[in-house]
Structure 1
Amino acid sequence: MEFDEYLKEKKIDPKKFKSGEPEQYADFERIFDLIHPNSFTQQKLFLINNIRRNYILDEQQEVKKPTAAKPMRPKIKPIKPKTS
């Protein structure tokens, strides 16, 4: 996952964030490349919330997460008892 995609998932406009706070953007991007996205979220949660308020993503630009198709279950028919 790219850092810009991550920001869009968090409803942060990456272009506005990069132009508004280039040093913090570069620092976050460097850290994001080193660790798992979930760890990054845990470490920077309060900062991410403040950034989201300042650089909110327009609804038109939001990225929709792909939904996984539901796995198909085999249909099981009951066994009819044999009559003699």
Structure 2
Amino acid sequence: MMSFEEYCIKKKIDSAAFLAQEPVRWKQWKEEFEQMHPNSFTEQKKFLINETRRKYLLH
């Protein structure tokens, strides 16, 4: 099973920067991610993931 941090890496999101800037949303997403399949999470958050990736792009 993939962790939320690994998922962020896969989606090219800098998890540490995301957590530092938006801890409440990061924790909410982490809890939701742990309760569902990664594909379901992606479908549910598709547009939000793209927005988050632009803000916290993993280099």
TM-score bracket, shorter-length normalisation = over 0.9
**TM-score, normalising length: structure 1:** 0.69
Cα RMSD between the aligned structures? Answer: 0.3
Gaps of 5+ in 2: none
Higher RCO (CA 8 Å, separation ≥ 6 residues):
2
Greater C-alpha Rg: 1
1:37 aligns with 38
**TM-score, normalising length: structure 2:** 0.97
Aligned pairs for 1:5-84 within 5 A: 5-58=6-59
Gaps of 5+ in 1: 59-84
Give the Cα separation in 2 of the matches to 1:6 and 1:41. Answer: 10
More helix by share: 2
